[in-house]
Amino acid sequence: MSSKEEILSRIRQTVGTGYAMPEIILPAGAVEYGDKTAQFAAVSESVGGRAVVAGKGADLNEMIRSLYPAAKTIASNIPEITLATFNPDKTGTPYELDGTELAVVRGEIGVAENGAVWIAQNVKEKALYFIAEYLVILLDAEKIVHNMHEAYRQIRLNDYGFGLFISGPSKTADIEQALVTGAHGAKGVTVILTSAV
Amino acid sequence: MSEEHAKNAARFLANKEQEQWHNETLWQVRGKRDRLAMAIPEWETLREWASGIKMHTLSHLDRYLEQFAANAEANGVKVHWAKDGEEHNEIVYGILKERGVKKLVKSKSMLTEECHLNPFLISKGIDVVESDLGERILQLMDEPPSHIVMPAIHLKREEIGALFEEKLHTEKGNSDPAYLTHAARLHLRQEFLTADASMTGANFGVAATGDVVVCTNEGNADMGTSFAPLHIVSMGMEKLVPDYQSLGVFIRLLARSATGQPVTAYTSHYRKPRKGCEMHLVIVDNGRSRTMEMGDHRRTLKCIRCGACMNTCPVYRRSGGYAYTYFIPGPIGINLGMLRSAKTYAGNLSACSLCCSCNNVCPVKIDLADRIYAWRQSLDRLGKADRIKKGMSKGLKFLFSHPALYRLSLRLAPLLRYMPRFLMYNRLNGWGKGREMPEFANESFTEMWKKGKVKTHTNQRSHE
Amino acid sequence: MRVGLFIPCYVNAVFPEVGVATCKLLDYLGADTGYPLDQTCCGQPMGNAGFENGAAGLAGHFDALFESYDYVVSPSVGCTSFVKENYPRIREREGHTCGTSGKIYEVCEFLHDILKVEKLPGRFPHKVSIHNSCHGVRKLHLSSASELNIQPFSKIKGLLSLIGGIECVEPEKTDECCGFGGMFSIEEPAVSVCMGQDKLYSHIATGADYITGADASCFMHMQGIAKREKRAIRFIHVVQILASGL
């Protein structure tokens, strides 16, 4: 018998009482936010990140430049982001992304309760999300949901087979519980909330 | 019961300053957890759901495992099954050896710790690099973690500064946490970029999709898996959840319970290997199916390794992770140790005052303290019961089974006050260390009642 | 209403005045109170030490002793919760149904939930620091546990508010364990004493004259430390305050 069969047959002998799956329907009074954008921005700040609202017709390139004036190597595969110095999808291997100072990517869903942004991989190498010193995520403000239940109803993975929620910068408190940002991934994350209106 | 924990704890407590720092620092984490939990009105409902989802999944685990494995395979992931730690290690080594891997970069995994993977691979000549900062610090020190979420919580910055000075050539005497963290960032980035393979644990496996979900704050799992062409996931078979809706419940609970954050910085879903790369998944039993057979102890398998029970445990905070003989400390560690080997790890059972605070913080509602109580009942059978305690319990039983004798002892108890101090306070009396003995009243309640000194209507009637 | 009093060993021998105050209150509130003299111990010390089976005989004796009463009332949190929680299982193992687990109440719980006391005479012009004992909070739900996101409540505070002149405060870490834990205090003396000191100091830091609570077993432990360290703070059971005007 293979290990798989052996394990499964042992489990079959022990499963016992079948417990029903709880019905996941939020009770009345569950947390909801009057202003999801404001809540999202407040939580982003509390987790060491930042969310800024791009006004109607705002120039995103100008905004990003003013947020990161010193950035020299800027990666983005978004056509409108003209201040990008290179298109990461045109590089050969993830190793070539080392040294990226700023990456500008698109997010799909924002979560008001925890400041997380869902990204289904949308660059050739997912390394970009982590190796860039700083990360800018463009997110449609209309795509902010209250909580993770809503978010998980909407998320889909694409053919890359990778996706993630990012909430603020990479961080650690492993030395005496002192919070330090920039453990391995981005040292800073700014979510720019855009509006179609 | 052997008293290993008690002895080790006394050593930890001898450094009062360190003990207070440890205690208060972890209490602050509990405080952060409380603030976030209280901000979610449906918090207790989430806990109820999380517990229910886990019990449901465990009671249909065969089905969910098959579904999960089939989906993972359809996604191009190679799935392996390991009955125990040894088989797990052999599988991992086999994969590495076949591909000529020299350097493996790992993110934190309690399961690989449980299987003793690192020493095994190192003995085979593989360069194993832990990439979680805390884990890396301990690896450089050649020490085990003392907490499952905050592995280096027992260390002071100066100790880490000195370690980095020696190993990473940082500035002499600089122990600023930001400086040291960024030094480790540079050092580990080189490891990420030069590793031949990466390995992660799994916080959750989603049966409906085959996703492996890994939650980190540092982004180390993500860095590891983004470069090397081979990713191996080591996953305990109890980590499954049915679908995304159930996953949402756990993601809401996990970081809030663990560190008092609304969510970890990264919640990564690994479904397929990177283009042109390989992803392997090792599903591990290692005693879990045996635990499934153990009645109420099965509930321990609901654990999502958040560590909240450690942060609230008044005993853990005051005794440190190394006071426990199993590699996972605190209330969950006492339980997991007993499940691993009751005979070997019974010495941790004393480390619980049955305050039950752990039961209340546990996001999946494991009745940890009640489990410990239950384990204590099995000590005698295991031949691990303390002789003195057993004798005392027998003596008490005899006394309490004879009401007249009990009443007599109540009458005589006040006489103990005339016992010479040296007979009462000596090294045989654990109570006497730091405490005076309780003082017996001149007259017991029973005596007073019998003499009609307790005035109630009933008592008056019976003495009229 | 026939109420059977259960006075556990440590209350009987060390804190008999707590038993007396319990009687006074029950009597004042019109309960017909009896005290079966053949009572001994509920078996908790054996259970916590890992010899629950040794409590089987005691549980049978206990059931028989209190069979004729409508309620069993005890001024002990630990013993009450032991009977409530573990007796059904212990009795079932012997093929019996437990008769007392459903009708036993800790005295504060009884006053608050069953007798629903609304008025008591007496004044207690002191500042008291409430000791929320573990099993009082987490097993008997005398107050809301700090870990849970539920509506805060405290039956003890509610009862004490009936007494004039009293000022109630709570220590920092309001319901952290004091480190008694029965056999724990002897098996883990170093941790137990450290927990006791921390708890005692946090009570003292409130500036209270008294530490009060429903669990005198915690008092034994904290009092032992206070005495060794010559600390002036005094200990008083909730029922002693409630009965102060009777």
Got the DSSP string for chain C?
A: -EEEE---HHHHHT-HHHHHHHHHHHHHTT-EEE--TT----SHHHHHHT-GGGGHHHHHHHHHHTTT-SEEEES-HHHHHHHHHHHHHHHHHTT---SSTTTEEEHHHIIIIIS-------B--SEEEEE--HHHHHTS-SB--TTS-S---BHHHHHHTTSBT-EEE--SSTT---S-TTTHHHHSHHHHHHHHHHHHHHHHTTT-SEEEES-HHHHHHHHHHHHHTT---EEEEHHHHHTTT-
Task: Provide the Cα torsion C160, C162, C168, C172; round to 10°.
Answer: 50
Q: Is B131 at the interface with chain A, CB within 8 A?
A: yes
Are A126 and B137 inside 8 Å of each other by CB? no
Domain assignment present for residue A129? The answer is yes
Please check whether residue B360 is in contact with residue C35, taking contact to mean a CB–CB distance below 8 angstroms: no
My answer on whether B277 and B346 are in the same domain is no
Mean pLDDT of chain B: 94
Mean pLDDT, residues B360-382 taken together: 94
Mean pLDDT of chain A: 95
Confidence band, pLDDT 50/70/90 cuts, at residue B306:
very high
pLDDT number for residue B1: 45
My answer on whether B135 and B251 are in the same domain is yes
Domain assignment present for residue A65? The answer is yes
Interval B63-108: pLDDT, tens: 999 999 999 999 999 999 999 999 999 999 999 999 999 999 999 9
pLDDT number for residue B462: 58
Are C134 and B456 inside 8 Å of each other by CB? no
Looking at the complex, report in whole angstroms how far the Cα of residue C109 sits from the nearest Cα belonging to chain B.
Answer: 19
> Max CA-CA distance within chain A?
66
Beta-strand pair A102-106/A134-140: parallel
Mean pLDDT, residues C153-157 taken together: 98
Mean pLDDT, residues A128-135 taken together: 98
Those of residues 98-127 in B touching chain A at CB distance below 8 A are none
pLDDT number for residue A196: 61
Q: Is B200 at the interface with chain A, CB within 8 A?
A: no
Q: Is C183 at the interface with chain B, CB within 8 A?
A: yes
What is the C-alpha end-to-end distance of chain A, expressed in Å? 62
Please check whether residue C73 is in contact with residue C6, taking contact to mean a CB–CB distance below 8 angstroms: yes
Q: How far is CA C141 from the centre of its chain?
A: 12
Confidence band, pLDDT 50/70/90 cuts, at residue B464:
very low
| Residues in chain C within 8 Å Cβ distance of B373 | 47-48
pLDDT number for residue B236: 98
Mean pLDDT, residues C119-143 taken together: 97
Looking at the complex, report in whole angstroms how far the Cα of residue B27 sits from the nearest Cα belonging to chain C.
Answer: 9
Of B172-181, B227-236, B285-294, B416-425, the poorest mean pLDDT is in B416-425
Containing structural domain, residue A72: 33-194
Q: How far is CA C145 from the centre of its chain?
A: 16
Interval A57-101: pLDDT, tens: 899 999 999 999 999 999 999 999 999 999 999 998 999 999 999
State both tokens at B162: 């000195």
My answer on whether B333 and B316 are in the same domain is yes
What chain B residue is nearest to A43 in terms of C-alpha separation? B262
| Residues in chain B within 8 Å Cβ distance of A165 | 251, 263, 266-267
Looking at the complex, report in whole angstroms how far the Cα of residue B245 sits from the nearest Cα belonging to chain A.
Answer: 6
Looking at the complex, report in whole angstroms how far the Cα of residue B28 sits from the nearest Cα belonging to chain A.
Answer: 10
Are C197 and B434 inside 8 Å of each other by CB? yes
Q: What is the pTM of this model?
A: 0.96
| Residues in chain B within 8 Å Cβ distance of C180 | 353
My answer on whether B9 and B63 are in the same domain is no
Please check whether residue B369 is in contact with residue B335, taking contact to mean a CB–CB distance below 8 angstroms: no
Domain assignment present for residue B394? The answer is no
Q: Which residue from B358, B339, B364, B149 is spatially nearest to B241, judged by alpha carbons? A: B364
- Boundary-marking domain end, from B354, B386, B418: B386
pLDDT number for residue B423: 66
Of A110-114, B103-107, B384-388, C88-92, the poorest mean pLDDT is in B384-388
My answer on whether B31 and B139 are in the same domain is no
What chain A residue is nearest to B279 in terms of C-alpha separation? A161
| CB-nearest partner of B439 from C14, C38, C149 | C14
My answer on whether B286 and B317 are in the same domain is no
Are A170 and B245 inside 8 Å of each other by CB? no
Domain assignment present for residue B299? The answer is no
Instruction: Determine which of C20, C107, C149 to mutate to test the interface with B (most B C-beta atoms within 10 Å).
Output: C149
Sorted by sequence, the CB contacts under 8 Å of residue A66 that are 6+ apart come out as none
My answer on whether B381 and B406 are in the same domain is no
My answer on whether B18 and B96 are in the same domain is no
Are C191 and B355 inside 8 Å of each other by CB? no
Find the DSSP H helices in B39-132: 43-59, 61-74, 85-98, 110-114, 117-123
Are B436 and C227 inside 8 Å of each other by CB? yes
| Residues in chain C within 8 Å Cβ distance of B312 | 147
Query: What percent of chain B has a predicted confidence (pLDDT) above 90?
Result: 83
- Identify the bridge partners of residue A38 per DSSP, sorted by sequence position: none
| Residues in chain B within 8 Å Cβ distance of C217 | none
ipTM above threshold 0.90: yes
Are B456 and C27 inside 8 Å of each other by CB? yes
DSSP conformational letter for B217: S
Domain assignment present for residue A1? The answer is no
Confidence band, pLDDT 50/70/90 cuts, at residue B310:
very high
- Boundary-marking domain end, from B290, B316, B332: B290
The CA–CA distances, whole Å, from B190 to A76, A95, A174, B103, C62 equal 24, 11, 20, 12, 70
What chain C residue is nearest to B320 in terms of C-alpha separation? C191
Q: Which helix (H) or strand (E) holds B256?
A: helix B244-258
Interval B243-285: pLDDT, tens: 999 999 999 999 999 999 999 999 999 999 999 999 999 999 9
CB pairs under 8 A between B and C: 238
CATH number, domain at A149?
3.40.50.10420
pLDDT number for residue B463: 52
The CA–CA distances, whole Å, from B434 to C187, C199, C228 equal 14, 14, 7
What is the C-alpha end-to-end distance of chain B, expressed in Å? 52
Are B262 and A47 inside 8 Å of each other by CB? yes
- Rounded distance between C-alpha atoms, residue B228 and residue B205, angstroms: 22
My answer on whether B207 and B264 are in the same domain is yes
Looking at the complex, report in whole angstroms how far the Cα of residue A57 sits from the nearest Cα belonging to chain B.
Answer: 31
Domain assignment present for residue A26? The answer is no
Those of residues 52-111 in A touching chain B at CB distance below 8 A are 94-95, 98, 111
Q: Is B462 at the interface with chain A, CB within 8 A?
A: no
Number of domains in chain A: 1
CATH number, domain at B275?
3.40.50.10420
Name the more confident of A134 and B440. A134
Mean pLDDT, residues A166-184 taken together: 96
My answer on whether B16 and B115 are in the same domain is no
Q: How far is CA B108 from the centre of its chain?
A: 14
The CA–CA distances, whole Å, from A82 to A86, A136, A151, B139, B230 equal 9, 14, 30, 44, 35
What chain B residue is nearest to A7 in terms of C-alpha separation? B83
Beta-strand pair B212-216/A116-120: unpaired
Those of residues 6-65 in C touching chain B at CB distance below 8 A are 7, 9-17, 19-20, 23-24, 26-27, 32-35, 37-41, 43, 45-55, 57-58, 61
Number of domains in chain B: 3
| CB-nearest partner of C49 from B44, B389, B459 | B389
Looking at the complex, report in whole angstroms how far the Cα of residue B77 sits from the nearest Cα belonging to chain A.
Answer: 11
Domain assignment present for residue A56? The answer is yes
Domain assignment present for residue B117? The answer is yes
Domains and CATH numbers, chain C: 2-114 (1.20.1050.140), 127-242 (3.40.50)
Subunits with 3+ Cβ pairs within 8 Å of A are B
pLDDT number for residue B428: 66
Q: Does pLDDT of B426 surpass 80?
A: no
C and A touch per CB criterion (3+ pairs under 8 A): no
My answer on whether B381 and B345 are in the same domain is yes
| Residues in chain B within 8 Å Cβ distance of A162 | 268-272, 274
Are B435 and C221 inside 8 Å of each other by CB? yes
- Boundary-marking domain end, from B355, B386, B417: B386
Domain assignment present for residue B420? The answer is yes
Sorted by sequence, the CB contacts under 8 Å of residue C203 that are 6+ apart come out as C129, C131, C171, C211, C222, C233
Backbone φ, ψ for residue B75 (5° rounding)? -80, 0
Containing structural domain, residue B439: 402-463
Please check whether residue A30 is in contact with residue A112, taking contact to mean a CB–CB distance below 8 angstroms: no
Mean pLDDT, residues C101-129 taken together: 97
Interval C15-61: pLDDT, tens: 999 999 999 999 999 999 999 999 999 999 888 888 998 899 999 99
My answer on whether B456 and B373 are in the same domain is no
What chain B residue is nearest to A26 in terms of C-alpha separation? B42
